[in-house]
Structure 1
Amino acid sequence: MSPRAQASGAAVELDPVIHAAARLKVVASLAPLAEGDRISFPRLQELLEMTAGNLSTHLRKLEDAGYVEVTKSHQGRTPATHLRLTPTGRAAFDTYRAALRALLG
């Protein structure tokens, strides 16, 4: 706990699901999308400069927490994966940002 949080008597907790650097990048990249909008897996992978395996691992953790929705479909014969932040994920990110602001003062 930071000295500032100790002084105020408040324990500020950062969501460990979001706090991992790679997952924070994912959530921060999905948050600006309008409600209901999605981004393709390859586009997110390109934006974050992550390997497919690494991105998949972090997306699974976020999906298991209910923060990200993964939709798989086909475009013709090609598989397509689209991602979006769920309302739960959006609320968790808002809470995370507020907690971070409180820690930083």
Structure 2
Amino acid sequence: MTKARFDELIHPSTRLTLVATLAAADWAEFAFLKETLGLSESALSKQLATLEEAGYLATERRLSGGRRKVRARLTDAGRDAFDGHVAALQAIVAGATTSPESPATRP
């Protein structure tokens, strides 16, 4: 069972979307990630570098048809961080939806 733990590094929406996208795939091409996330090349490169420095993902650069291609995948540490973060978010949501009466709804 995954231990719920909030992860500040992957919580920003761009990184969370990036990690969620990578969690659903073995490898993802840079062009696919750029289009899916709606980011510029420089913005995506920065996010990939940040997550790679943390050990959450690995990138591979290769030549294909004379062009340099980059692809990325989550590492085991990245998958654990994502799973823990999702579990923490689910716990937060479950706590909010199961409380009988929140202070905001009290008369």
Q: Percent identity?
A: 38
Q: Where in structure 1 are there 5+ consecutive unaligned residues?
A: 1-11
1:44 maps to 2:36: no
Pairing partner for 2:18 from 22, 26, 34: 26
Q: Taking structure 2 as the reference length, what is the TM-score of the superposition?
A: 0.80
Q: Deviations over 1:52-105 (max 9, x none)?
A: 111111111110111111101111321010111111111110000011111112
Pairing partner for 1:94 from 73, 83, 88: 83
Q: Give distance in 1, aligned partners of 2:75 and 2:17.
A: 16
Pairing partner for 1:59 from 48, 51, 69: 48
Q: Taking structure 1 as the reference length, what is the TM-score of the superposition?
A: 0.81
Pairing partner for 1:81 from 54, 63, 70: 70
Counterpart position of 1:103: 92
Bigger radius of gyration among the two: 2
Count of residues in Structure 1 that have an aligned counterpart in Structure 2: 91
Question: Segments of 4+ in structure 1 off by > 3 A?
Answer: none
Q: Where in structure 2 are there 5+ consecutive unaligned residues?
A: 95-107
CA RMSD of aligned residues (A): 1.3
Q: Give distance in 2, aligned partners of 1:39 and 1:60.
A: 15
